[in-house]
Amino acid sequence: MALSLKKHPMPEQAPEVRAHNFNEVALGYDEETAVAEAERCLHCKIPQCRKGCPVEVNIPEFIAKIKERDFDGAIAKIKESSSLPAVCGRVCPQENQCEKYCVLGNKGESVAIGRLERFAADREMAQNKEVKPIDYAPDAQKVAIIGAGPAGLSAAGDLARRGYRVTIFEALHTAGGVLSYGIPEFRLPKDAIVKKEIANLEKMGVKIEVNSVIGQLYTIDELMEEEGFDAVFVGTGAGLPHFMNIPGENLNGVYSANEFLTRCNLMKAYRFPDYATPIRVGKKVAVVGGGNVAMDGARTALRLGAEHVYIVYRRGEEELPARKEEVHHAKEEGIDFQLLNNPVEILGDDKGWVRALKCIRMELGEPDASGRRSPVAIKGSEFELEVDTVVMAIGQGPNPIVASTTPGMDTNKRGNIIADETGATTKPGVFAGGDIVTGAATVILAMGAGKKAAAAIDEYLKKKRG
């Protein structure tokens, strides 16, 4: 059989339909498609794909299991390394990771590793299998995890499997971190996927305490000295929204992407008034930024009923930091990309509401520190984009609440916690990983950091118990 150079296409909702609903865009492979896609894998003697995976999933073996129609075996193989396969299969930037290294990619398209991972995970989830609770030793050591996002969940899963009693403290009323408040329903369904993955961790024996703001309710010192935790992992993420510091940002109708997405995803404002949290979207929306969060914001605005949605980004198409697939989906749905434009001011009406976004045109100059050509303003090219709503999606910084209440745990000048490659911070027994250490990055990198820290915590606690 001739080897296809192309991946089996992902079945999707049609753009004109999905732009008006919050249901998942990508529908997933069926069994036949999954097996056919798995058959594209060459099973290289020295597989390259694995080195692209931050959690080192045994990719060739799980794909081989799918090929053999041993779907239970496939998911079991994935779960040896990944705590949240249904999530990763959806939101990992595979094109920069596993699939980037697939040798098929040299001539055509790589194996659709992400889609196969999702297939295996979804198939298992649909079966509602029982999760076996962990049989803890009576003297099992206790680990506190701060933040129930990807880093914390991944660390929790690994630590529980190693026999530690794990309690996750989550500030919000729902676990999941960015998986719950940030990534929209249409990319990552909450009830069907996120809640189930988290419930499985709980069934395994991980305790999750929501509504618990560490730094306020308990300090890390109190957790270790009074609450009996032997080690702590901090995975509090990048929770502090950045603004541009341009005039007009405090007008009504200006949101941080965090607020816009949290209202919609976590608080379910898209179902207002059945859900009590409101959101104002207006007719015309400008989302400032070019990353995945900006794409999520723009596509959310469209689904909330906006008639016209702009992405305003100061660099060009090539420099967009968002995944190609997200940009492609956004364009299909009709998002208007205003590239090489930079906002300079938000203009308001006499009642304090946004009426326009004033931008200046940019051109690309010399490459900057990130290697991307840096944008330079073209003098006198200012223009007004008439909008009712502006969503600022230009990045997030570290939330300072935990660090500022933890003496001995050092941060860098940006406020990120300083940790070595194992996740160890400058405070003994305290580890950190994910966006709180690296600055805003991806779900899978945070999961990888959680996994590494879990291994380091295991080593630390082994020594501690002697």
Partner 1 sequence: MFKVLKKDELSPGVFRFDVEAPRLAKKTRPGQFIILRVNEEGERIPLTVADFDREKGIITIIFQAVGASTQLLSELNEGDSILDFVGPLGKPSEVEPGLGTVVMIGGGIGVAPVYPIARGMHEAGNKVISIMGARSKDILIMEPEMKAVSDEVIITTDDGSYGIKGFVTTALQQLVDRGEKIDVVYAIGPVVMMKSVVEATRPYKLKTIVSLNPIMVDGTGMCGGCRVQVGDETKFACVDGPEFDGHLVDFAGLRERQGMYREMEAEEKDHVCRIGLGR
CA dist., res. 198 & res. 374, Å (int): 41
Nearest approach, Cβ of residue 422 and partner 1 (Å): 28
**What CA–CA distance (Å, rounded) separates 173 from 125?**
24
Closest to partner 1 by CB, 183 or 320: 183
- Judged by CB, which is closer to partner 1: 404, or 426? 404
Closer Cβ to partner 1, 11 or 278, answer by number: 278
- Closer to partner 1 by Cβ: residue 162 or 263: 263
Shortest Cβ distance from residue 248 to partner 1 (Å)? 11
CB-nearer residue toward partner 1: 145 or 340: 145
**Which residue, 97 or 262, has its beta carbon nearer to partner 1?**
262
Contact 177, 261 (CB under 8 A): no
The whole-angstrom separation of Cα 343 and Cα 392 is: 10
Q: Which candidate, 65, 388, 22, 344, places its Cα nearest to that of 183?
A: 22
Greatest alpha-carbon pair distance for the chain in Å reads 72
Structure-block tokens of residue 404? 């500022």
Taking the complex as a whole, the smallest distance from the CB of residue 402 to partner 1 amounts, in Å, to 10
Give the SS3 label for residue 86: helix
CB of 169 to partner 1, least distance (A): 11
Rounded-to-integer distance, Cα 85 and Cα 102, Å: 19
**Cβ 268 to partner 1 shortest distance, Å:** 8
Q: Which is nearer to partner 1, 261 or 454 (CB)?
A: 261
Tokens of 305: 């009923």
Q: Please report how close the Cβ of residue 314 comes to partner 1 at its closest, in angstroms.
A: 21
The residue (of 4 and 405) whose beta carbon lies closer to partner 1 is 405
Per CB under 8 A, residues contacting partner 1 are 171-173, 181, 210-213, 216-218, 239-241, 243, 245, 249-250, 252-253, 255-256, 258-259, 262-263, 267-268, 272-278, 280, 351-352, 399-401
* Nearest by Cα to 462 from 268, 230, 271: 230
What is the smallest separation between the CB atom of 223 and partner 1, expressed in angstroms? 12
Between CA 128 and CA 137, with CA 131 as vertex, the angle to 5 degrees is 170
Query: CA–CA separation, 289 vs 342, rounded Å?
Result: 9
DSSP 8: P
Min separation Cβ 52 and partner 1, Å: 31
* Whether the bond into 273 is cis, omega within 30 of 0: yes
In angstroms, rounded to a whole number, what is the distance separating the alpha carbons of residues 135 and 118?
29
Instruction: Please tell me the distance from the alpha carbon of residue 21 to that of residue 300, in angstroms, as a whole number.
Output: 9
Minimum CB–partner distance for residue 388 and partner 1 (Å): 12
Contacts of 445 (CB under 8 A, 6+ apart): 54, 434, 438
CA angle 245/248/250 to nearest 5° reads 85
Residue number with CB closer to partner 1 (33 or 292): 292
